Structure 1
Amino acid sequence: MEITQRIENWASTHYPAWFDFVRMGLGVFLFVKGFIVLSQIDSVQMFISNINALNGTNVNWNAQLLVQFIAYMHIIGGLFIALGFLTRIAIFFQLPILLGAVLFTMPGMRMDAGNTMAQGGINFVWTEVNLNTTTFEWWTALFTLILLISSFIIGSGPWSVDKYLEHYEET
């Protein structure tokens, strides 16, 4: 509890006002990204199904459920982040999704079904890292992850529902 209060006190005294616009933009981006994922649900399901096909065990990831979970977490979490409402909790639920996006779209990384190390697992094998083939999605996911971590540390800021509720007094 003490470390949380120390981070909160540090963030309150060192908060740059312009970072509220970054937080709002990040929330709007995630909100829109949720609708993009829903509109391209077939291609995202195919990607998840390919990961499942490489998995040699009987673990069945329900691609439809997973894609809908990711999309709705982006929509709801993005709205909460943009408004500054329960910001750190919303970011906490976004972090694993973005970490997975960064890892699964990493340049030079490919999946191999011939995993001799662990039976039934997916072996991530480094191929030649060619920065010319670095995907735009990876850079976007990495930049979004960095902004999420920064927003998680700094907090919601003065222009947020959290700050309004903190100072709100019933009359």
Structure 2
Amino acid sequence: MNMMNRIEHWGDTHHPAWLDIVRIALGVFLFVKGISFISDTTRLSKLVTGLDLHLYTVASVHYVAFAHIFGGFLIALGCLTRISAIIQIPILLVAVFFVNFRTGFSYLNSELWLSMITLILVITFAIVGSGRFSMDEWMKNHDN
């Protein structure tokens, strides 16, 4: 049994039901954050341009919005949760260490704390998976 299978098995056996509520809330939060990025692309473009990573600003803005909207939706449903969570990790790492960290590590920087909590939760769901009350579990149990 390789390492990924062991992590997946451990996550499936150690997943309390209350964690499903946290997963749904995280998915809804990411979905809403993606919608807010689409509604105010100039703000997100300024954040990405300020990084000076020589990325195509428009492409990265669309990637972040797309990943948050569809990834958040899938996480909330519990469908392909691990893959959706893994796709969110690079975005949140950039948000924590490059975008929000520049403004200072204080209790007043709520975006930094929100990004850090979201990153921790996304890593958690990449490990433990979707849980009992999810589309993945429903499809596994109703396989005809």
TM (normalized to structure 2)? Answer: 0.90
Alpha-carbon distance between aligned partners in 1 of 2:117 and 2:50, rounded to the nearest angstrom: 26
Higher relative contact order (CA 8 A, sep 6+): 2
Query: Runs of 4 or more off by more than 3 Å in structure 1?
Result: none
Name the CA shift for 1:130/1:30 in 2 (closer, same or farther; >3 Å): closer
Q: CA deviation at 1:88?
A: 0.5
- 1:152 aligned onto 2:126: yes
Alignment equivalent of 1:83, drawn from 62, 66, 77: 77
Between structures 1 and 2, the one with greater strand share: 1
- Matches of 2:51 and 2:42, distance apart in 1: 14
RMSD: 1.8
Name the count of aligned residue pairs. 144
- Match among 97, 104, 108 for residue 103 of structure 1: 97
Aligned residue for 1:123? none
Tell me how far apart the structure 2 counterparts of residues 14 and 45 of structure 1 sit (CA, whole Å). 40
State the shift of 1:69 in Å. 1.1
Q: Which residue of 2 aligns with 1:94?
A: 88
Q: Does the Cα contact within 8 Å between 2:23 and 2:76 map onto a contact in 1?
A: yes
Quote the offset at 1:78 in angstroms.
0.3
Does the 8 Å contact 1:24/1:82 carry over to 2? yes
Distance 2:24 2:141 in 1: 20
Matches within 5 A, 1:4-19: 4-19=4-19
Give distance in 2, aligned partners of 1:130 and 1:17: 34
Aligned to 2:58: 64
Structure 2's unaligned 5+ residue stretches are none
CA contact (8 A) 1:11 1:153 kept: yes
Task: Name the one with the larger helix percent.
Answer: 2
Structure 1 runs not aligned, ≥5 long: 111-128
